[in-house]
Structure formats: structure tokens, C-alpha cells
């Protein structure tokens, strides 16, 4: 089973887009088959969406954000996200690209430290109508350009991506744009990356390596109290809360998308006894794993 979904895998799954592109692709939302469900996979690419029409809720890490007007949405490959449609359908565009595709960087260094994509940042911006119209024209140009025979088209597409990023940064409050990265934010980024690397669990023969604050702190070579303080300062949540939230996401995905026995899922998540997993899941989700598995799948 693949440990993460690449751009090539995404194109194979949705059956759309330029199949030759390995580092960048762009899509119009209305052209995709919305009946195709997202697999239980981590992605290895960034996603930048211009939503011109929608009514739903974006679930991003531990946050839920209502979107009922034009919006820009930024997704980091380290952070899980999903979309729940409340009514109607979605209109707009999105592009997918790898870290190495664009040469864009901020003073802090690297795309992952941009205010648009960094851990703990704001993944949704609501642009003014004029900005929406301008960015819509840029996305349309990207979609037209990717199918041309121009030999330097990917350099041009990279430039278009940077235009979208810079136009988006204009919306970010100035005091956040070049704010130095703190020690707590660096530790939080390292912790969240280490946490996310354990997922998805590829088979019943695999189990996560780290499942408590002490084990993560040991891997980061810092004291557990230091890790907790850094996470609380940067994200508002403790190490244990982050771990529990991510394990719950994985447990729900495995219960929904696999036929593994509940006991096997509990073992993969590091529980020695199935009863302990049942207690954990019920405390976090409000019902037992078996009850959750029997519920109809939500949109």
C-alpha cells in the first residue's frame, strides 16, 4: 500500500489532468467526478484552491471553517483535511505542486514556513471580488498552458503559482507576513511532521512507533515539558491532545475504509488491549468503534 499519494497517483484516481506532469497540475473543480472518494492516504504535495462558489465546512487538522463565499484555501501535505458539502456544488480551481516546483521563499525560508502553509497558520483567506476575478484568470491561464507544447511551460506555470501566492500574501495581515519563526513554532513543526509520518498505517502487520509525549520528546531530543510548552504556545494544544486527535482520525479512517477487525486496528494504533482502544475511541468520538463503523458514511 502506498504511504503517500503523489500527483501521478492523484491523476490516476480522478481520471483527469495532464498525466505527464509529476510536479504540478491544475484542475477546474466542475470537471472532476465528485463521486470519487478520497482514499485513506497522505499526500506529498501542496494544494492551493480558489473556490468561487461553495457552501460547506473545511475540516483542517483540528479546526472547522465555514465557507459560504469565494475563498482561497491552502493545504500543507503534513496536515490532514477534508470537505463537507452542506448544499449545492463547488465552483473554482485548484492546483497541486511539490515543494521543489516553485522557487518561492520567504525570509523564514521555504514554502512550508510561508504564512499560507505553515503549521498553525490560517489555511483560508477571503479575497475581495476584484482579486477573485484576477486569480480566476490566472488559474484559467494555468489550465490552458499545461496542455500546450511550449518547451518552457513549467517555468511559466511556476511563475503563475508565485503570482497566486503573492496575491494571497497581500491579504495576510502585514505583521504576520515577516514575523520571525519562534523556537516553539520550529519544535511544533518538527513534532507534527514526526507524528504525521506514522500515518497512514499500510497493513495490519504495521504499528505506530510513538504514541505518547515522552516517546516523541525523546525522538526530538528535548524534555517532555519543553515539548508540551512549545506546542501549547504555538498551537494551543498539548502533545497528548495532538496525538489523541491524530489517532482518532486514523482510527475513523481505518474503520470506514478497511475491513480490518477492530482488534487489529487497536493493535496498529499501539493499544495492547482492545478494551483500552474501545475506551479511548468512545471517550473521543462519543460511541464505540463498532457503532461508528455501522453508521452511514457522511459526505
Q: Which residues pair with 124 in a beta bridge?
A: 73
168 in Cβ contact with 160 (< 8 Å): no
Its CATH architecture, for the domain 183-294, is: Orthogonal Bundle (1.10)
Contact assessment for residue 83 and residue 77, using Cβ atoms and an 8 Å cutoff: no
pLDDT for position 60: 76
Which residue matches cell numbers 509520518?
197
Delimit the domains of the chain by residue range: 4-177, 183-294
- Contact between 52 and 117 under an 8 Å Cβ cutoff? The reply is no
43-57, 112-126, 269-283: the lowest-pLDDT one = 112-126
Fold entry, domain 4-177: Jelly Rolls (2.60.120)
Strand-pairing partners, residue 129, are none
Which pLDDT tens digit goes with each residue over 232-260? Answer: 998 899 999 999 999 998 999 899 888 99
Strand partners, 24: 97
Query: pLDDT digit string (tens) for 29-63?
Result: 988 765 444 444 456 788 999 999 999 998 876 67
Q: Is the separation of the CB atoms in 10 and 96 below 8 Å?
A: yes
Amino acid at each position: 500500500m502506498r504511504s503517500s499519494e503523489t500527483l501521478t497517483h492523484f491523476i490516476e484516481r480522478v481520471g483527469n489532468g495532464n498525466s505527464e506532469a509529476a510536479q504540478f497540475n491544475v484542475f477546474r473543480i466542475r470537471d472532476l467526478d465528485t463521486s470519487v472518494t478520497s482514499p485513506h492516504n497522505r499526500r506529498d504535495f501542496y494544494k492551493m484552491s480558489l473556490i468561487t462558489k461553495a457552501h460547506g465546512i473545511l475540516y483542517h487538522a483540528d479546526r472547522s471553517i465555514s465557507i459560504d463565499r469565494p475563498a482561497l484555501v491552502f493545504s500543507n501535505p503534513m496536515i490532514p483535511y477534508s470537505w463537507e458539502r452542506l448544499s449545492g456544488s463547488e465552483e473554482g480551481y485548484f492546483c497541486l505542486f511539490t515543494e521543489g516546483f516553485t522557487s518561492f521563499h520567504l525570509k523564514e525560508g521555504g514554502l512550508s514556513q510561508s504564512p499560507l502553509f505553515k503549521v498553525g497558520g490560517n489555511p483560508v483567506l477571503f479575497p475581495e471580488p476584484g482579486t477573485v476575478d484576477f486569480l480566476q484568470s490566472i488559474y484559467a491561464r494555468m489550465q490552458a498552458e499545461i496542455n500546450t507544447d511550449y518547451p518552457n511551460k513549467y517555468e511559466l506555470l511556476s511563475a503563475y503559482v508565485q503570482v497566486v501566492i503573492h496575491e494571497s500574501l497581500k491579504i495576510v495581515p502585514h505583521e504576520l507576513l515577516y514575523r520571525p519563526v519562534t523556537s516553539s513554532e520550529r519544535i511544533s513543526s518538527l513534532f507534527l511532521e514526526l507524528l504525521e509520518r506514522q500515518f497512514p498505517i499500510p497493513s495490519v502487520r504495521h504499528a505506530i512507533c510513538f504514541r505518547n509525549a515522552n516517546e516523541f520528546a525523546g525522538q526530538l531530543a528535548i524534555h517532555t515539558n519543553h515539548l508540551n510548552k512549545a506546542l501549547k504556545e504555538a498551537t494551543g494544544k498539548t502533545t497528548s491532545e495532538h496525538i489523541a486527535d491524530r489517532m482518532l482520525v486514523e482510527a475513523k479512517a481505518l474503520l470506514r475504509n478497511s475491513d480490518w477487525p477492530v482488534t487489529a486496528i487497536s493493535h496498529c494504533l499501539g493499544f495492547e488491549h482492545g478494551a483500552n482502544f474501545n475506551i479511548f475511541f468512545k471517550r473521543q468520538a462519543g460511541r464505540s468503534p463498532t457503532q461508528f463503523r455501522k453508521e452511514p458514511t457522511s459526505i
